[in-house]
């Protein structure tokens, strides 16, 4: 898991949550308390293959308060609605989410886990 932060007045403010696109199951499980590394602007290069995940494609895990799921079926449906070939999901290496969306989904402050 990676975190991209905005630099404002010398302070890092976590903005994006970036997770590997593991498509071996129907859902990608994301534990917001898992270890992470920081991602920098130069890490977003031409070979960076990612797909933005909206809050509507995420599911709350009601048994683990710090965990949510990315529903692959919902992601593919969203791609179809946007007229994107859903088979392109298999070329993606990462899923990218706004931390604002994750916090709203989980109804908790998860940024505190990523402050350095």
Give the residue numbers spanning the domain of 9: 2-111
Within-domain flag for 48: yes
Residue 116 has pLDDT above 80, yes or no: no
Assess if residue 56 is contained within a domain: yes
Domain assignment present for residue 25? The answer is yes
Give the span between the Cα atoms of 53 and 18, in whole angstroms: 10
pLDDT digits (tens, 9 = 90+) for 17-42: 999 999 999 999 999 999 899 998 88
**For 83-92, how does the pLDDT look when each residue is reduced to its tens digit (9 = 90+)?**
999 999 999 9
Whether the Cβ atoms of residue 22 and residue 31 lie closer than 8 Å to each other: no
Number of separate domains in the chain: 1
| Mean pLDDT of all residues belonging to the chain | 92
pTM: 0.90
Instruction: Tell me whether residue 116 is in a domain.
Output: no
Is position 36 within any domain? yes
Tell me the pairing of strands 37-39 and 2-8: parallel
pLDDT digits (tens, 9 = 90+) for 39-64: 988 888 889 999 999 999 999 998 99
Identify whether 30 is part of a domain: yes
Residue 46 lies in a domain: yes
């Amino acid at each position: 898991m990676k975190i991209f932060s905005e630099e404002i007045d010398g302070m890092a403010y976590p903005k994006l949550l970036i997770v590997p696109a593991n498509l071996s199951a129907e859902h990608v499980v994301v534990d917001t308390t898992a270890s992470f590394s920081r991602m920098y602007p130069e890490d977003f290069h031409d070979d960076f293959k990612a797909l933005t995940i909206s809050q509507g494609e995420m599911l709350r895990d009601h048994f683990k308060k710090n965990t949510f799921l990315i529903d692959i079926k919902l992601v593919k449906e969203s791609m179809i609605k946007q007229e994107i070939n859903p088979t392109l999901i298999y070329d993606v290496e990462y899923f990218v989410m706004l931390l604002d969306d994750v916090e709203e989904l989980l109804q908790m402050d998860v940024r505190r886990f990523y402050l350095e």
